[in-house]
Amino acid sequence: MGERVNVEEIFGENVFTIEKMRERLPKNVYKEVVSVIEGGGELSKGSADVVANAMKNWAVEHGATHYTHWFQPLTGITAEKHDAFIGSPDKDGKMITSFSGKELIKGEPDASSFPSGGLRATFEARGYTTWDITSPAFLKESGAGVTLCIPTAFCSYTGEALDKKTPLLRSMEAVNKQALRIVKLFGNDRATKVNVSVGPEQEYFLIDWDKSMKREDIIFTGRTLFGAMPPKGQEMEDHYFGVIRENVGEFMKDLNKELWKLGVPDKTQHNEVAPGQHELAPIYETANIAVDHNQIIMETMKRVAEHHNMRCLLHEKPFAGVNGSGKHDNWSLCTDDGVNLLDPGDTPNKNVQFLFVLACVLKAVDTHADLLRQSAADVGNDHRLGADEAPPAIISVFLGEQLEDVVRQLIETGEAKSSKKGGKLKTGVSTLPQFEKDATDRNRTSPFAFTGNKFEFRMVGSSDSMASSNTTLNTIVAEAFCEAADILEKADDFDMAVHDLIKKYLTKHQRIIFNGDGYSDDWKKEAERRGLPNIKSTIEAADTLTSKKAVELFERFGVFTKTELESRQEIIFENYAKTINIEALTMIDMASKQIIPAVMKYAGRLAKDVNEIKAAGVDATVETQELKEIQDNLTKMKKALDKLKAEEAKARKIEDPRKMAFYYKDHVRPVMEDLRAPADALEMLVAKTDWPFPTYADLLFEG
């Protein structure tokens, strides 16, 4: 049985932590670094050189040969270009490694190879990466050896953000500034900073590597484009929290080890609802670090899975008819003196600051439900959101019984006199301790749920970066805080003004609160009646980015300029078209070169059998019927295949990115469904040994 792991020893081993900087840097330089991390600003050139040298020495001691500015471009997980620490040999021919402050702080990847959404046309192709000093550098061990990764932000020559991190950092500053105003108004003069904390729960699938290599759809698109449901689906729900299979357990152990070495505090692991599906959750951290760590988690999952001869699927919907994967974005705000602004305490009705913050969040979410929905949109996620699976595409907020009751009292009477208690949980077994029940139960169908001391935004897709959802959340809440602070700072009677604002916001925005079943059709009708947006697809959601409301919001808080929003929108359209294009071409390929030939071969043999059976003077009705059914589906397939080729060719010729994306959605995708249906029917008619690639049962139950 496997090796033992000492968490305390290995945790952060591959990270250039503050602790390591304290050990390795001269005192004054160390102090400067800490002051920049905590208070912003820039390192002096001299100090940057010292830090770079210390960082390089540490990295080289640990076997690193290269460094890279690690960043999050607008499509794909992360990007890196490796440079060796090679300097020039000295006079004896000995290699002197080198790494300067300039190389640490600023990089120049070729911006033209990353999507810029038109920014490239208007501005120079050049782009810069700059070190995000608040996120520590780390060593990545991979097939390429050991590489020092420096987390960076990526901007164009004129300062437009070309990545996901820059706006996130801007939004954190915005919400910090506005939240501090609120905290001060409520009498806290000690806090100097309000941090955004984020804890992502990551879902994923694991399948056998060799089998996955036999499926073009998985290789090229990360999901299955064909496949009939196996006889056993997830009806039994026996997988959820079930015993972790031995090979998966070994994967998890290695994954944990790698992540702990990288300083990622991953804590919880369990099986998920679907067969082959699992979840991993780290302990929450400051937003930008949590987002970086989530990227590291996704990368590491893929890499470690390969070492275990498995493939990790991060796609939101790898298998039709089987639960998809999401990423719950747990979000809250904490002051640097330790107050969680979303902690209601035992008696939320008496906690005025909490109620006020809650009212502001509700206002923000209701006012910008469209933008929040957009922030969780990606092509793969269109298969989940609104597709009768967790959660619906309509944003609503779940508060739970206790808070809903407090809110109701506030709206009705302007005062909340009581808070419902959770009570004791009685198990009926005297030797088990009686513990306090939470006063909030869970509602798994809600896209935005209050869960004790944080909100849980459950719409984000499993393959997506957490940057976008948190950027939007931070900004909309910053706006609500700002508008409230503008009023409160001028108020003569603060208590009265707070009281009035809470009542006003809750009354005006109560339509966003929904505690019922988010999957039901009744809710869709009710939401429509309430006027809540129901945005069905990624590209419809992209349209909201350039609305007057969105531009005003993001420009006001310095998170995005109008130009940046337009560029992001264009990238979404381009990426959507590209993704569906690849999916369509893959289907065409699999249908023409694998499924149809296999079916024809099988049908040919069956036809011969029919003739032989008939020649033997026996009734061949069953065989004939089978053959007929096969031929019917084959005809349907061929028709859909020809149509898909034609539509795809048309879509590809459209020049305007938005029109092209919508053409793919409205004209190409439906035909992909038309091609899939008869193919899946054929899978049920053709002998298993004749089917050209592994089936759902092979992938999900025999992984």
Enclosing H/E stretch for 58: helix 45-61
Contact 630, 602 (CB under 8 A): yes
Residue 399 beta carbon to ligand ADP: minimum distance, rounded to whole angstroms:
16
Select the residue interacting with ligand ADP from 283, 425, 496, 622 (CB under 6 A): 283
330 binding ligand ADP? (CB under 6 A) = yes
285-286/424-425 β-pairing? unpaired
User: Which residues in 551-580 contact ligand ADP (CB under 6 A)?
Assistant: none
Residue 456 beta carbon to Mg ion: minimum distance, rounded to whole angstroms:
5
For ligand ADP, the closer CB: 201 or 683:
201
329 binding ligand ADP? (CB under 6 A) = no
Distance in angstroms (rounded) separating the CA atoms of residues 401 and 442: 10
Distance in angstroms (rounded) separating the CA atoms of residues 267 and 201: 10
327 binding ligand ADP? (CB under 6 A) = no
Q: Which range touches ligand ADP (CB under 6 A), out of 42-50, 198-206, 228-236, 593-601? A: 198-206
For ligand ADP, the closer CB: 199 or 692:
199
Q: What is the DSSP letter of 595?
A: I
199 binding ligand ADP? (CB under 6 A) = yes
Residue 541 beta carbon to Mg ion: minimum distance, rounded to whole angstroms:
23
Which residue carries 């998985």 as its tokens?
Answer: 218
Tokens matching residue 422: 């959770």
Residue 581 beta carbon to Mg ion: minimum distance, rounded to whole angstroms:
35
Contact 595, 695 (CB under 8 A): no
Q: Which range touches Mg ion (CB under 5 A), out of 212-220, 320-328, 352-360, 461-469? A: 320-328
Q: Report the half-sphere exposure of 157 (CA within 13 A, side-chain side).
A: 11
Distance in angstroms (rounded) separating the CA atoms of residues 642 and 438: 57
CB neighbourhood size of 445 (10 A) = 20
For ligand ADP, the closer CB: 464 or 698:
464
223 binding Mg ion? (CB under 5 A) = no
For ligand ADP, the closer CB: 419 or 451:
451
Q: Give the dihedral sign, CA 595/597/598/600.
A: positive
197 binding ligand ADP? (CB under 6 A) = yes
Q: Which range touches Mg ion (CB under 5 A), out of 10-18, 108-116, 303-311, 327-335? A: 327-335
User: Exposed, middle or buried by CB within 10 Å (0-12, 13-18, 19+), for 689?
Assistant: exposed
User: Which residues in 189-218 contact Mg ion (CB under 5 A)?
Assistant: none
Distance in angstroms (rounded) separating the CA atoms of residues 489 and 501: 13
453 binding ligand ADP? (CB under 6 A) = yes
185 binding ligand ADP? (CB under 6 A) = no
195 binding ligand ADP? (CB under 6 A) = no
Distance in angstroms (rounded) separating the CA atoms of residues 388 and 150: 41
Enclosing H/E stretch for 180: helix 165-185
Binds 537, which of Mg ion, ligand ADP, none (CB < 5 to 8 A, cut-off by type)?
none
Enclosing H/E stretch for 268: strand 266-271
Q: Residue 368 phi/psi, 5° resolution?
A: -120, 35
Residue 364 beta carbon to ligand ADP: minimum distance, rounded to whole angstroms:
17
373 binding Mg ion? (CB under 5 A) = no
332 binding ligand ADP? (CB under 6 A) = yes
69 binding Mg ion? (CB under 5 A) = no
User: Exposed, middle or buried by CB within 10 Å (0-12, 13-18, 19+), for 390?
Assistant: buried
Distance in angstroms (rounded) separating the CA atoms of residues 32 and 42: 9
**# residues near ligand ADP by CB under 6 A:** 15
User: Which residues in 337-396 contact ligand ADP (CB under 6 A)?
Assistant: 340
Residue 328 beta carbon to Mg ion: minimum distance, rounded to whole angstroms:
4
User: Exposed, middle or buried by CB within 10 Å (0-12, 13-18, 19+), for 245?
Assistant: middle
Q: What is the DSSP letter of 399?
A: -
Q: Which range touches ligand ADP (CB under 6 A), out of 93-101, 275-283, 299-307, 644-652? A: 275-283
Select the residue interacting with ligand ADP from 363, 373, 384, 454 (CB under 6 A): 454
For ligand ADP, the closer CB: 198 or 476:
198
328 binding Mg ion? (CB under 5 A) = yes
Select the residue interacting with ligand ADP from 49, 103, 163, 201 (CB under 6 A): 201
Whole-angstrom distance between the N-terminal and C-terminal Cα of the chain? 21
For Mg ion, the closer CB: 328 or 658:
328
Residue 172 beta carbon to Mg ion: minimum distance, rounded to whole angstroms:
22
Binding site for ligand ADP (CB under 6 A): 197-199, 201, 281-284, 330-332, 340, 451, 453-454
Interface residues toward Mg ion, by CB under 5 A: 328
